[in-house]
Structure 1
Amino acid sequence: MVTLHTTFGDIKLRMFADEAPATVENFLQYCRDGFYNGTLFHRVIDGFMVQGGGMASGMEEKATRAPIKNEADNGLSNLTGRLSMARTMEPHSASSQFFINVNDNLFLDHKAKTPDGWGYCVFAEVVEGMDVVNKIKGVATGNWGYVHQDVPVEEVLINSVTIED
């Protein structure tokens, strides 16, 4: 179990270590390193997802480790309350950023081992604190510079993370 202690409250997560072992280990290593402490939920789209894990206060991008292999072909779906790795258009580009689905987003699931079909790897689920996620998804958002859209107007931070065995 992992708990994200946010400015809106705690979000407790259960890892899918059997289905996504490399992804879970990657996430846990970022947690153990304190990487997520002080990072933002920097992209929030009500009806879709809330994304965090890569930007510090002021929308400053954090340096990450190398990307990991995409394990989206693990049979898990992007259902409400499940966490997936964020990535670029390159299927194997996920590093630290993740998102929490606030809707059933089955169109993000793995379909084929092609650039368009890889999908997004589900690696955890919210077991407590979905009310906190729902508060986050409802925040006012806007643009940040020319690049970032759907950024919370007031920062929503992950203050710290705890891991329980």
Structure 2
Amino acid sequence: MSVSNPLIQMETNFGEIILELDVAKAPVSVENFLSYARSGHYDGTIFHRVIKGFMIQGGGLTPEMEEKPTGPPIANEARNKLKNTTGSIAMARTEEIDSARAQFFINTENNRDLNHGGLNPQVYGYAVFGQVVDGMDVVYEIERVATGASAGFENVPLEPVVISKVTVID
């Protein structure tokens, strides 16, 4: 990644995570994330899905497990050759290929099964658009929280892991 890539400061109740976004390889996903960040969408959301040895997912729900409104879905950039490796950030989506909106996840392991593997929706993959450059200790601390079921969701932290503020560092 180059120095022209935006840096993101994500403040959580567990500490700070710094991300570098890859504009060249994931322009649609980066612009989408930056738009949500600049609008304040992520402020006060939670990491609502935490699976040890896999990833931490957030950016769409409040601590009350209410989904925040989002814009339209974006094109899936999983074919950009960026891999779902430890510390990478990717767009979360439904079973539909082009369904990512605001939610994202940070990989806590090398998750090869999430990489682009073909045009079939089951193997299309998840678009990586950046990398944690500082704060993996915070990511791992979040990964270790106790989880359970809540509001129809599985793997929800029993104590909310709150994203208090997401700032684009200029």
TM-score by length of 2: 0.95
Does the residue aligned with 1:79 lie in a helix, a strand or coil? coil
Query: Does residue 156 of structure 1 match 2:153?
Result: no
Aligned residues: 164
Give the AA of the match of 1:154.
E
TM-aligned CA deviation for residue 117 of structure 1: 2.1
Aligned-pair identity (%): 52
Q: Which residue of 1 aligns with 2:118?
A: 112
Amino acid at match of 1:65: G
TM-score (norm 1): 0.98
> In the aligned structure 2, how far is the partner of 1:31 from the partner of 1:122?
17
Question: How far did residue 114 of structure 1 move?
Answer: 2.1
| Matches of 1:116 and 1:40, distance apart in 2 | 27
Structure 1: any 5+ residue segments left out of the alignment?
A: none
Instruction: Identify which of 49, 61, 67 aligns with 1:43.
Output: 49
Instruction: Look up the SS of the partner of 1:50 in the other structure.
Output: strand
1:67 aligns with 2:73: yes
Alpha-carbon distance in 1 for matches of 2:123, 2:110: 18
Gaps of 5+ in 2: 1-6
Q: Which runs of 4+ in 1 moved over 3 A?
A: none
Question: Which of 92, 96, 99 in structure 1 is aligned with 2:102?
Answer: 96
